Amino acid sequence: MGQPDTLFTWSETARTEFEALVDGTNASERFRLALAQTIANGWGSNRDKPVWALAGTLALLGETGAGLSSALDFLWMPANDCFAHLGASRHPAVSANEGGSYHLKLPGGGLLLDRFRHKLLQKYLEFLISCNGFGHSEEVAGLLDACLKAGLTDKAAIDTAVRSIARILYRYRTEHFDDGHATSAFSILRAYLAGVGDTITDDTVFEFWSAEANAHFKTYQASFFALKDYVDALADARSRAAMRRAGEIDAPGISAELAVDFVDPFDTEEDDLGDVAEEAEQAAAAYQGGESAAAAALKAIAESDVKLIKKREEMLAAPIVSAGGFGCSLPVATLRLLAFHPIQSALSNSLRTGKATLSLEERVTCVEARRYGVLMGEIGELETAMTEWLKIAFAVRTEEATGNARADAIRAEGVALLKTRRSQSLARPREELGIAFSAVERPLMALARALAEYRTAVRGRARRNEDLDIGFEADRSRFAEQLRRLYAG
């Protein structure tokens, strides 16, 4: 049986993994097409609806005592057993239809479950477990197990599973599909950028977000990170193509394709964190993996046993570490994200909840937006705070002088800084503090480095806050006009 037409733009990996799902089965052409459509497009206009349907169905089966010890047991649950159980459950969320199907009332909407869709969900679950060489199996199983265990009353577990699995699917699609579905972020962005010259600048994010052709990414933040993923996908594709031609590595075209002009941001850094201690420098080396490492570092710092970062500071740092190198290459676009996404988020929340501290008419003027100079000051202060915590960590973990003048000076500074801290989380024996700080030394170094890289990138565009704030005033007018069109038009 031939491959469904919907696979013609899938990568070889995606084709192979799809064939493995149906190989040796008696799947009809109709089922193969439906499965391909489910993976690529979702259902209807909702790409993530099959994930929601799977998570909600498992939550219902868990709540009604279907006897599944894990989400994976659903893979082998015969349709007859599933439907007999639903019919006997007499649960208020289950309604029988003529013809043997059931209507399930799940958190977030209703689902029609028939035998065809039951089989579709089973194969969809198998795909989620096996895609990318079973690279996401543990995470997917854990998320769906949480739904099975929590039942329908825990909507948060279902929402978490849908969001997390949707991110996995999004990256799978951008990596392995080209024009596989009409709402593909890759396809949307490729078409848009082709029309504006295939060049991405600081202004591209705003222009794409506000373009009439963009009916998919409703927020500036979504547009920003869609472009980041697009750039990452292109870089990965170029790397793979270059590696396939590794035998021609000396050819001028290939050499240029792989060339990297690397500039170490710490060459211009005022505070030489690398001299704090040899141990800290070695620890930092473990965090050279890139943007995901910086995001993991921020999470580790936020969840530390000692209070190292305030929620407001964490919210400031999160977009910077998530944007990584892309954010440094478009520093002004990232500043706009930091300043104006909170305004759009507040508008959305106030419209959803009906509660607001400011009227909609006033909020769309971006009166609450923080100026770029203020944001840069906060970023600098946060970077300094992480550096100081690193010095404190060094002081706590070295009880005696080392004989190294620079290290001993850092230790003395760390001791003095520790005495100024009033956090209750620090009121514990030195041994316990040493253990707590040992867990965050590397994350502290990684976050300080990420903030320094971004601060250096911004200062490469504007040395003074006054220059940044001139641009802020112009941007506030542009964002106000767009937000007024979206929310008060």
Predicted confidence at residue 255, as pLDDT, reads: 36
pLDDT tens sequence across 186-243: 667 777 887 887 788 999 999 999 998 887 788 999 899 888 888 876 776 555 555 4
Dist. CA 54–CA 32, nearest whole Å:
18
List of the chain residues with pLDDT < 50: 1-5, 8, 179-183, 243-290
What are the boundaries of each domain within the chain?
Answer: 5-177, 186-258, 268-487
Task: Return the number of other C-beta atoms located less than 10 Å from residue 249's C-beta.
Answer: 12
Predicted confidence at residue 95, as pLDDT, reads: 94
pLDDT tens sequence across 170-186: 888 888 876 444 345 66
**Model-wide pTM > 0.75:** no
Predicted confidence at residue 7, as pLDDT, reads: 55
Interacting residues of 381 by C-beta distance below 8 A, sequence separation 6+: none
Predicted confidence at residue 410, as pLDDT, reads: 85
Task: Return the number of other C-beta atoms located less than 10 Å from residue 10's C-beta.
Answer: 23
Task: Return the number of other C-beta atoms located less than 10 Å from residue 91's C-beta.
Answer: 15
pLDDT tens sequence across 271-312: 333 333 333 333 333 333 345 677 888 888 988 888 889 999
